[in-house]
Structure 1
Amino acid sequence: MLEFVLEYRTTIDRITDKRKLGLGEYELDDEEWMLAKELCDVLKHATMFFSCSMPNLAMVIPAMDHIDTTFTNCIINKARLQPAIHTALGLAKKTLNHYYSLTDLSNIYRCATVLHPRHKLQYFKQAGWQPEWITTAEALVRNQYTTSYRSHRIPPDGALNDGDNSASAHQVCEHTQILVAD
């Protein structure tokens, strides 16, 4: 939306011309247009992560990490930002951290990230998570498997159609080892 507004600045300036339509109170001055451009640039970079693939549960933590890193880098390089944008990024980062902390209330985010074929435990290592947190993420997946799936039997390869349900829980455990490994 902000990109659209910037693209049609000339038209918007004409519409908000005080003399013609009486919408002068909505007219943006050059400084406000510059703020809109800076904000658009920051948000475009922060949200670029979402344009690469279909969002899913396993992407919540990496997406929040990406946005947090983008905001942090912009705040650190504050010399090139207007004070209003710098303040807005600080508030956005505080809000993001609030919601990020809520992911700890549900194990599903970490389990989904650990089980995602592209991420596994390696994601957390590359993201600089503390070793105890990585161990906890792995333990959450293993505990979920033990409590919810270990007793379930799955058919061996090719047996889905012939009704043979003789696969052992050991096979499932070996499969889980592969999923979690980095």
Structure 2
Amino acid sequence: MLAFALEYRQAIARMSADADTGLRRFELDRKEWDIVKQLVEVLKVYKHATMFFSRGTPNLPTVIPAMDRTDDVLTNQSLDTVKFSESIRAACTLSKATLNRYYNKTDTSETYRIAMILHPRYKLRYFRDRRWEEEWIETAEDILRDEYECSYSSLPVDDDTTAAPDPVPVVTVSRCSYAP
């Protein structure tokens, strides 16, 4: 809507300047048009994120990188004193705080960490590239190893190269305990 208004600024200005239309009170001054232009730029990151997560194949490991990208954009916009007014920069700062409140909730989810590490594109390299604390990376790796040990290590492995005459049942005692 704002992009449309910006694109048709001259027509909107002519229409609202005409006293006969009764739209004079809605006429924007130069400063207000500057804010519209800045908002169009700032809101692009949300449009891109919305389009990304609305596509047919969003998946868990893409959430963290998308949130990181949004956070990077908001950080740059909140610090850009040349391109953005003080009010727009303040709005970006508040928006960044809200995003980080949700981002912090991913810290309590082991699933996000496991999904990121298992993703062929990201693995642990993503966290190192983003300069995450080594302790956090080690914790994420430990979570993945523990999940494997608890849920998958005792499962039989199909081996097509050798045919065992009679499968031997595997009995293991899980080291893991799950709280109900």
Instruction: Give TM-score scaled by structure 2 length.
Output: 0.73
Corresponding residue number in structure 2 for 1:163: none
Q: Render the CA deviation track for 1:57-91: whole Å, top value 9, x for unaligned.
A: 11111111111112212223323321111111111
What letter corresponds to residue 66 of structure 1 in structure 2?
R
Distance between the aligned counterparts of 1:3 and 1:117, measured in 2? 37
Kept in 1: contact 2:79–2:89 (CA 8 A): no
Post-superposition shift, 1:23? 4.0
CA-atom RMSD in angstroms: 3.1
Distance between the aligned counterparts of 1:155 and 1:16, measured in 2? 74
Percent identity for Structure 1 against Structure 2: 43
- Shifted more, 102-111 versus 148-157: the winner is 148-157
| Distance change >3 Å, CA 83–CA 152, structure 1 → 2 | same
- Shifted more, 32-41 versus 114-123: the winner is 32-41
What letter corresponds to residue 117 of structure 1 in structure 2?
P
Distance between the aligned counterparts of 1:157 and 1:23, measured in 2? 77
Size of the aligned set, in residue pairs, is 161
Distance between the aligned counterparts of 2:20 and 2:59, measured in 1? 48
Q: Higher helix share goes to which structure?
A: 1
Distance between the aligned counterparts of 2:19 and 2:51, measured in 1? 41
Corresponding residue number in structure 2 for 1:33: 33
Distance between the aligned counterparts of 1:116 and 1:17, measured in 2? 56
Post-superposition shift, 1:104? 1.3
Distance between the aligned counterparts of 1:153 and 1:18, measured in 2? 79
Corresponding residue number in structure 1 for 2:121: 118
Post-superposition shift, 1:101? 0.7
- Shifted more, 19-28 versus 110-119: the winner is 19-28
| Distance change >3 Å, CA 45–CA 98, structure 1 → 2 | closer
Post-superposition shift, 1:33? 1.7
What letter corresponds to residue 134 of structure 1 in structure 2?
I
Q: Render the CA deviation track for 1:28-83: whole Å, top value 9, x for unaligned.
A: 32212211211222333576577678532111111111111122122233233211
Structure 1 residues not aligned, in runs of 5+:
159-165, 170-182
Larger Rg: 2
What letter corresponds to residue 60 of structure 1 in structure 2?
V
Structure 2 residues not aligned, in runs of 5+:
162-166, 171-180
Distance between the aligned counterparts of 2:25 and 2:112, measured in 1? 45
Instruction: Give TM-score scaled by structure 1 length.
Output: 0.72
| Distance change >3 Å, CA 4–CA 154, structure 1 → 2 | farther
1:1-182 map, 5 Å: 1-14=1-14, 16-17=16-17, 19-44=19-44, 48=48, 55-156=58-159
Distance between the aligned counterparts of 2:47 and 2:143, measured in 1? 29
Distance between the aligned counterparts of 2:46 and 2:129, measured in 1? 19
What letter corresponds to residue 72 of structure 1 in structure 2?
T
